[in-house]
Amino acid sequence: MTIAVRNIAKYFGSFCAVDNVSFNVEKGELVALLGPSGSGKSTILRIIAGLETPDRGEVFITGRNVTELTAQQRKVGFVFQHYALFKHMTVEKNIAFGLEIQKRPRQEIAAKVSELINLVRLQGYEKHYPSQLSGGQRQRVALARTLATEPAVLLLDEPFGALDMKVRQNLAAWLKELHDKLHITSVFVTHDQSEAIEISDKIVIINRGRVEQMGDAHDVYEHPGSKFVASFIGQVNVIDASILDNRIMIKDTRHSIDNISDIPNGNDIVLLIRPEDITLEEKSGERCLPCVIKQIHYRGSFYELDLDIGGFIIKALENKNSFKREQWKQNQQAFMHVKHYKVFETEEGHNIIREQLRQLGYIE
C-alpha cells in the first residue's frame, strides 16, 4: 500500500477534529474521503500532507514513516480548493516552481512545463496570469503544478468545490480519465457524494472525526453500515415507526408496512427508504401503504412525487419511461409500494441523525 494512516487524532483546543482514524490507500487507487463539512476530512488530508501535525498516530507514505517529516520533505502533491496559484506568476512560472526549487536544469524544466501544459490542455495560456483564467482553468494549472514534481501521492482538498456545477462535472470526469492514464495514488476530499461515487475506486466516509464506513461505491450505497451512511449517501426518506404485534407501524398512523420478528414489540425505530425504491400502485399489496398524491414534479429524466401518508410527506422518484403520467392526478388516493427499506433502532439517539440530516438539507 502507498498510504497508511494509523490511529491519528487531532484536537483544536478541546474540540476533537480527528478521532482515531486509520485507513490504507493501495498503490494506484483513487480514494474519496467523503463527509459533511466540519467532519474532519480536510484535516486528515492535511495531516497526510504534513500541513497539520497529528496529536497522536502515524502516517506512512510508500512504506516510510513520515509522521515527523515537514511538508517540504514529504514530497506529496497537494491541490487546494481555491487553487492557491501564485498570483504574481504566469501559468508557466507556477508550473515550473517546484522544479526550480529542486534546481533541475533549465531545459528539463522547459520540456516538463510544456508537456504538462499539453496534458492539462492549456496550450496558448503559458504567459497568462491566474487572474486571467477561469476557475476550471486555474484548477488545471494547480494540478499541473502539483504533477510537475512527480509526487508519489496526490492529495486533493475539495478540488472542484469552488466551481460551477457544469465545470465541476467535466473536470471530475477529466480527473478520473487522467488518473486512469497516470495511475498516481490519489486521495481526494469531497462533501459531494455523487462526485465520490462517480470517480473514486474506494470511498472512506468520515463523520465527526471518525471513519463511518469504507468500501467501493456500490458497497456503501447498497449496504450502508449506519444510518448516517445511508442518509448521507444519496437521498433518503426518514420515517419514524414503532413495532407493534411484530409489525412495523408508521408513527401517528394506523398503517403497517411489513412484518418483522427480530425487534421486540414496543420499540421505536427509524425507517430509511430511498425515493427510487418506491413505486406508485393503484391497488394495495404486499409492503404497500395508502397515500395521497400531493405533487408531481417533472424533473427532466424522472418525476419526483410528494406522497402524503397521514401527515408525512414521502419523496418518490419514478423513471420517465415507466411512469404513466396521465394516470395520476393531484390529491388522488393511491398506494406506494416499498421495494426496499432499511430499519435502524432508535435507542442510540435518532434525534442526532435527524439533526444531521437537517443540516445537510435532506429534511426540513
Partner 1 sequence: MTENILPRPKMRSGDALLRSASFGYIGLLIILPITVMIVRSLQGGLTALWADITLPQALFSLRLTIVTAFIMVLINIVTGTATAWVLVRYSFPGKQVMDALIDLPFAMPTIVAGIMLVALYGPRSVIGSFLQGHNIEVMFNTPGIILALLFVTFPFVVRAVQPVLIELDQDMEEAAKTLGASSATIFFRIVLPSLMPSILTGAALSFSRALGEFGSIIMVAGNIPFRTQVASVYIYGEIESYNPQGALGLSVVLLFFSFAILLLLNFIQYWNRRHEN
Residues that bind partner 1 (CB under 8 A): 49-51, 70-72, 74-78, 80, 82-88, 97-98, 101-102, 129-131, 142, 145-146, 149
User: Which amino acid is it at 207?
Assistant: N
Beta carbons of 13 and 20 less than 8 angstroms apart: no
For β-strands 333-338 and 278-281, DSSP reports them as: antiparallel
Q: How far is the CB of 188 from partner 1 (least distance, A)?
A: 15
Q: Which is nearer to partner 1, 76 or 238 (CB)?
A: 76
> No. of H helices and E strands in the chain?
10, 20
- Minimum distance from CB of 211 to partner 1 (Å)? 24
Which C-beta is closer to partner 1: that of 146 or that of 256? 146
Nearer to partner 1, 83 or 344 (CB): 83
- Closest approach, Cβ 49 to partner 1, in A, equals 6
Q: Toward partner 1, which CB reaches closer, 150 or 281?
A: 150
- For partner 1, the closer of residues 87 and 297 by Cβ is 87
Q: Count Cβ atoms within 10 A of the Cβ of residue 105 and give its class: 0-12 exposed, 13-18 middle, 19 or more buried.
A: exposed
Output the smallest distance, CB 84 to partner 1, in A. Answer: 3
- At 157 the three-state DSSP class reads strand
Three-state helix/strand/coil letters over 284-345 = CCCCEEEEEEEEEEECCCEEEEEEEECCEEEEEEEECCCCCHHHCCCCCEEEEEECCCEEEE
Q: Which helix (H) or strand (E) holds 35?
A: none
Cα–Cα nearest to 40, from 11, 70, 68, 6? 11
Nearer to partner 1 (CB atom), residue 110 or residue 313:
110
> Considering the complex, what minimum distance in angstroms separates the CB of residue 132 from partner 1?
9
Contact 338, 287 (CB under 8 A): yes
For residue 15, give the C-alpha cell: 474540540
Cβ count within 10 A of residue 13 = 6
Helix, strand, or coil (residue 147): helix
Q: Please report how close the Cβ of residue 177 comes to partner 1 at its closest, in angstroms.
A: 24
Q: Which is nearer to partner 1, 78 or 232 (CB)?
A: 78
In whole angstroms, how close is the CB of 51 to partner 1 at the nearest point?
5
In the bound complex, what is the minimum distance in angstroms from residue 72's beta carbon to partner 1? 5
User: How many other C-beta atoms can be found within 10 angstroms of the C-beta atom of residue 17?
Assistant: 21
- Taking the least distance from each CB to partner 1, the nearer of 97 and 302 is 97
Q: How far is the CB of 17 from partner 1 (least distance, A)?
A: 17
Long-range contacts of 22-27, Cβ-Cβ distance < 8 Å, separation of 24 or more: 22/57, 22/211, 23/204, 23/211, 23/214, 25/1, 25/153, 25/185, 25/187, 25/202, 26/1, 26/2, 26/185, 27/1, 27/2, 27/185
- Is the Cβ of residue 188 or residue 228 nearer to partner 1 in the bound state? 188
> In angstroms, rounded to a whole number, what is the distance separating the alpha carbons of residues 140 and 292?
50
